[in-house]
Structure 1
Amino acid sequence: MTGLPRIPDLWRRPDAALWYAPLALLLLTASFLPGFRSNGTELGGLPDRPFDALAIAAIALQCLPLAVRRRWPVSCFTVVSLGFAIDQLRGYHTLAGTALPIALISVASLVEHHRRAVAIAFSVAYVPLSVALHRLGPGEPPSEFVTFYLAVALAWGVGVWLRNTRAVEAERRRRVAEDTRTAERARIARELHDVVTHHVTAMVVQAEAARYLTASPDRLD
């Protein structure tokens, strides 16, 4: 059946990396547009700060690693998280913060080992960030930080769902391939059985007929 590819298929296609280089550049460019400045993720309620050299670095740290998120998902997520922390602590609140859930989805869906360790490390690192933002800001209620953490956890859940869907699809394809091989072997066996049966039958008929031709050697041959 043909049709539009599903989201998991798009996410795991070999050429999916080609989508993320333009996405990284698009997010990088949009973060500097006047209409998008200071309109990104705001955690802790810190007042907006004008862009400076460190803001440029924070935006680059959040956006550019997305281009390699498929090959090095953990490294991508680590650098993006660092840029996000600088972004929030300095009060830039750039659109580049959108890269954080994307990088987190990549870790949850692509990393084969130590995914739990990455999740624990991020959760532990989030605590001092929340404390620092709470002290630097106007004293936002803890529920804001809990809500943001749950939103990030949702992104992790999306990544896990993508990973599980990919595993189920791979198992389905394996079973289909195995069933196809089994059916092909059975077909070949049936054809060989028919050929052997035909030849054996012909041999038996010829052997029985030879009993009546012993008196005519020329016909016997």
Structure 2
Amino acid sequence: MDPLLAAAFTALAFVPWMATMGSQFGDLPQRPADAFALVLVLAQTVPLAVRTRWPAACLAVVGTSWALYQAFAYPPQFSTVTVYLAIYSVAAHQRRFRAAIAITLVAAYAVLALIVHRLGSPSDPADLAGFALMLSPLWVLGAYVRRHRADEVARRQRAEAAATAEERARIARELHDVVTHHVTAIVVQADAARMVAAPEVAGPALATIEDTGRRALSELRALLDVLEEPRSIRDLVERNAQPATLVEDADLRSLPATVQLVAYRVVQEGLTNAAKYAAGQRTAVRVSRGEDDVRVEVTNPAGTAIGGLSGGRGLSGLRDRVGALGGSVSAAPLPDGGFRLHARIPT
């Protein structure tokens, strides 16, 4: 879309009657257009092709070209209106350093006003300041659009999280109705059979079936608890039998439920692995958030035995979970003999 916009503004810049719509600054005596004027015209329209992808760069090129065009007092040109769009684009699409860009923009405008005044502009300082005030609503409008867009993304993420939670609860209910019923029936039948069968013949086998069934029920209930209402990472660390410290540099609640769940699983696997290979020793858990990802790190203390992660398929299963979101997992021993599990989860 932006390349088409740039092409449209470039074409309109060469329509003679559109020149009257251009912006003028300083009212300096005009000079005839030349080859450099053509370069400045193109430098004010072509950068619009990247105005949403690199808004700061677009403004830098368009703004500099606009300032030079005004300082050289070339004839009015429609291309000069693109500076308005460039200012709006920074406020609406720039993700970082917006305050610094705004301060730089004001300083650059002050320098241009001083230059134009020194070149003999008949405009007094109040007129030049008034032109700057006319530009400020563009920044305010862009900031409003950016905020509205961010609120809409957050609303959509909350809706997705609610839908995911509802689906998770439905799956939990179905698991409970189907699996728990059959496992309970096995336990009951094994218990009854052990009462009537010859102890020396079937007793040990039936006891094993009963014990296995009860453990399966216990593990299934724990799984259903997680499906129905996933706990926070802090709850997981605090309730874990393995002593651990948690450093959270980010609040994950605003992220999609899938990202939260995968981060939870990484910590869960790391703590389980620590309990297996470094039982009783304090484990360090760290969760941080970058610009477009979440990083989870679980570090076991020195003396940890080297082994695969627990939890079914261990490290392979964890890599599948994280990899499904486009992330990566690394697990390796540390120089001091400890063990480090690290995952990067795109948001």
- Measured against the shorter chain, the TM-score band is 0.7 to 0.9
| Paired residue type of 1:139 | P
Change (3 A) 1:50 1:33: farther
Report the counterpart of residue 20 of structure 1 in structure 2.
Answer: 2
1:184 aligns with 2:151: no
Matches within 5 A, 1:128-147: 128-147=111-130
Equivalent-residue separation in structure 2 for 1:116 and 1:201 (angstroms): 63
| Paired residue type of 1:129 | L
Contact preservation (8 Å) 2:22, 2:79: yes
Contact preservation (8 Å) 2:7, 2:46: yes
Q: Deviations over 1:115-171 (max 9, x none)?
A: 111111111111121122233344213232222212222111122112111211111
Cα deviation for residue 87 of structure 1 reads 1.4
Change (3 A) 1:105 1:180: same
Equivalent-residue separation in structure 2 for 1:116 and 1:200 (angstroms): 62
The Cα RMSD (Å) is 2.5
Contact preservation (8 Å) 1:87, 1:94: no
| Paired residue type of 1:166 | R
Gaps of 5+ in 1: 1-18, 215-221
2:84 aligned counterpart, secondary structure: helix
**TM-score, length of structure 2 as denominator length:** 0.51
Matches within 5 A, 1:13-162: 19-37=1-19, 39-92=21-74, 93-162=76-145
Misfit runs of 4+, over 3 Å: 196-210
Equivalent-residue separation in structure 2 for 1:114 and 1:208 (angstroms): 69
Q: 1:172 aligns with which of 142, 146, 155?
A: 155
Q: Which moved more, 1:178-187 or 1:36-45?
A: 36-45
1:139 aligned counterpart, secondary structure: coil
1:44 aligned counterpart, secondary structure: coil
Equivalent-residue separation in structure 1 for 2:180 and 2:50 (angstroms): 61
Cα deviation for residue 180 of structure 1 reads 0.9
Q: 2:177 aligns with which of 194, 201, 209?
A: 194
| Paired residue type of 1:79 | V
Contact preservation (8 Å) 1:38, 1:48: no
Equivalent-residue separation in structure 2 for 1:124 and 1:102 (angstroms): 19
Equivalent-residue separation in structure 1 for 2:49 and 2:191 (angstroms): 78
Change (3 A) 1:148 1:209: same
How many percent of aligned residue pairs carry the same amino acid? 41
Change (3 A) 1:23 1:70: same
| Paired residue type of 2:152 | E
Gaps of 5+ in 2: 198-347
The count of aligned residue pairs is 195
2:31 aligned counterpart, secondary structure: coil
2:13 aligned counterpart, secondary structure: helix
Change (3 A) 1:119 1:208: closer
Contact preservation (8 Å) 2:28, 2:122: no
Greater RCO, CA 8 A, separation 6+ = 1
Equivalent-residue separation in structure 2 for 1:136 and 1:39 (angstroms): 24
**TM-score, length of structure 1 as denominator length:** 0.77
2:107 aligned counterpart, secondary structure: helix
Cα deviation for residue 54 of structure 1 reads 1.7
Equivalent-residue separation in structure 2 for 1:79 and 1:209 (angstroms): 84
Equivalent-residue separation in structure 2 for 1:46 and 1:113 (angstroms): 36
Change (3 A) 1:94 1:137: farther
Equivalent-residue separation in structure 1 for 2:191 and 2:110 (angstroms): 93
